[in-house]
């Protein structure tokens, strides 16, 4: 008769938190490289201390103490005085401020793979060097909605499975829907509602216009929120434009005709596509190659990974927001994609875009 004692189980691995001890360094291009082989990128999920971008952390629910269940978000420190605010609802699988770990740990580096470059570009949108009228930003946090009680911090689903355990073979910790979630932010739906009804309402200037980006789950949740007639009536005068990225919503799910009409005129969707950045893919009703999103759909030049879309195409999106903001009566131009098919077996299909 044999029995296995806890002391005989393999220990849960412990990794150093210092980048150098892990065998990596950050080069002059802000990329994580291997110390022994500087040509090799990192193969691990690593991040770096937050850059100074004039952002501050707000704990939700607003007023929560650091020891209480809370989810952190980033907002501009001068948000209340700004006339425009960009609100980013990123995908539910990422940590706060992270756009793509693939870019962070590879070509592009930390600044492009996180919101650093995006925020810097947004802050450059000012009318003069003397007047800072650039938009503020709110970085929502759809990813870190699980509360780790022992660590006293909010974490993602992925991080939940990586919480240190007694041994390497122990099961992950049991998830309690009440004790391991955050009040008023227990899931992505509640978090989006709290951002609109509490964060935006309490922290921004009531006259400030909102530019909204939703990525994947973030886009779906924003559309579901604004599709409700009460929510749309409350915010329709404040929202200037909306960009769903890698969204999996369908135009058939939009039941509010007023919101649907607005989305057609003031929305632009972006999807994974091998076409170059800014290339027109389909109109609001979609095409044979693209689902109907309710607004014009474009490429951002990323052929494979949805998580890389915003990191590689944020300039195009922010520039479009600037275009919309400059014209109170802005409406999306009507764009047609015309394909000319020739009879020759070896001849290519020619495409042309026309705008009216």
Give the integer Cα–Cα distance in Å for 46 and 14. Answer: 15
Q: What's the average model confidence in pLDDT over 127-147?
A: 86
CA 5 to chain CA mean position, Å: 46
Residue 190 pLDDT exceeds 60:
yes
Query: Which pLDDT belongs to residue 352?
Result: 44
Query: Which pLDDT belongs to residue 356?
Result: 44
Query: Which pLDDT belongs to residue 167?
Result: 64
Instruction: Choose between 238 and 33: higher pLDDT.
Output: 238
Give the integer Cα–Cα distance in Å for 219 and 226. Answer: 11
Instruction: Choose between 35 and 300: higher pLDDT.
Output: 300
This prediction has a pTM of 0.81
The label of the residue with tokens 């991080």 reads 159
Q: What's the average model confidence in pLDDT over 142-158?
A: 90
Q: Taking Cα atoms as reference points, which of 165, 147, 166 lies closest to residue 156?
A: 147
Helix (H, G, I), strand (E, B) or coil at 343: coil
Least confident of 48-62, 201-215, 327-341: 48-62
SS3 string, 6-31, reads HHHCCCCCCCCCCCCCCCEEECCCCC
The label of the residue with tokens 């994580």 reads 32
* CATH 3.40.50 intervals, the chain: 49-328
Which class for 348: exposed (0-12), middle (13-18), buried (19 or more C-beta within 10 A)? Answer: exposed
Residue 347 pLDDT exceeds 60:
no
Q: What's the average model confidence in pLDDT over 250-266?
A: 95
Helix (H, G, I), strand (E, B) or coil at 75: strand
Q: What's the average model confidence in pLDDT over 14-31?
A: 65
Give the integer Cα–Cα distance in Å for 71 and 73. Answer: 7
Q: What's the average model confidence in pLDDT over 91-116?
A: 89
Query: Which pLDDT belongs to residue 336?
Result: 75
Query: Which pLDDT belongs to residue 107?
Result: 85
**Which CATH number fits the domain 49-328, given the four candidates 3.40.50, 2.40.160, 2.60.40, 3.30.70?**
3.40.50
Q: Please report, rounded to a whole number, the percentage of residues in the chain having pLDDT higher than 70.
A: 78
Helix (H, G, I), strand (E, B) or coil at 158: helix
Least confident of 119-133, 176-190, 325-339, 341-355: 341-355
Query: Ramachandran region of residue 152, left (φ > 0), alpha (ψ -120 to 50) or beta?
Result: left
């Amino acid at each position: 008769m044999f029995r296995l004692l806890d002391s005989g189980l393999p220990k849960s691995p412990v990794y150093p938190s210092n980048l150098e001890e892990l065998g990596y360094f950050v080069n002059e291009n802000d990329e994580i490289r291997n110390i022994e082989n500087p040509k090799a990128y990192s193969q691990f999920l690593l991040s770096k201390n937050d850059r100074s971008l004039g952002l501050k952390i707000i704990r939700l629910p607003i007023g929560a103490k650091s020891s209480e269940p809370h989810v952190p978000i980033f907002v501009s420190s001068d948000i209340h005085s700004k006339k425009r605010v960009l609100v980013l609802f990123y995908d539910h699988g990422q940590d706060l401020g992270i756009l793509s770990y693939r870019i962070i740990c590879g070509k592009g580096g930390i600044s492009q793979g996180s919101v650093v470059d995006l925020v810097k570009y947004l802050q450059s949108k000012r009318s003069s060097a003397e007047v800072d009228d650039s938009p503020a930003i709110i970085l929502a946090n759809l990813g870190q909605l699980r509360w780790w009680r022992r660590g006293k911090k909010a974490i993602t689903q992925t991080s939940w499975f990586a919480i240190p355990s007694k041994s390497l073979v122990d099961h992950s910790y049991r998830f309690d829907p009440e004790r391991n979630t955050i009040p008023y932010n227990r899931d992505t739906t509640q978090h989006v509602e709290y951002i609109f009804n509490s964060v935006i309402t309490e922290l921004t200037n009531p006259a400030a216009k909102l530019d909204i980006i939703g990525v994947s789950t973030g886009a779906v949740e924003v559309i579901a929120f604004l599709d409700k007639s009460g929510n749309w009536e409350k915010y329709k005068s404040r929202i200037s434009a909306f960009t769903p990225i890698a969204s999996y919503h369908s135009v058939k799910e939009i039941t509010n005709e007023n919101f649907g009409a607005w989305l057609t005129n003031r929305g632009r969707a972006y999807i994974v596509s091998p076409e170059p950045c800014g290339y027109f893919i389909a109109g609001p009703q979609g095409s044979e190659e693209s689902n109907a999103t309710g607004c014009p759909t474009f490429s951002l030049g990323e052929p494979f990974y949805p998580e890389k879309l915003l990191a590689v195409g944020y300039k195009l999106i922010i520039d479009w927001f600037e275009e919309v903001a400059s014209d109170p009566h802005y409406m999306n131009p009507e764009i047609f994609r015309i394909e000319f098919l020739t009879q020759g077996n070896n001849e290519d299909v020619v495409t042309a875009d026309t705008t009216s």
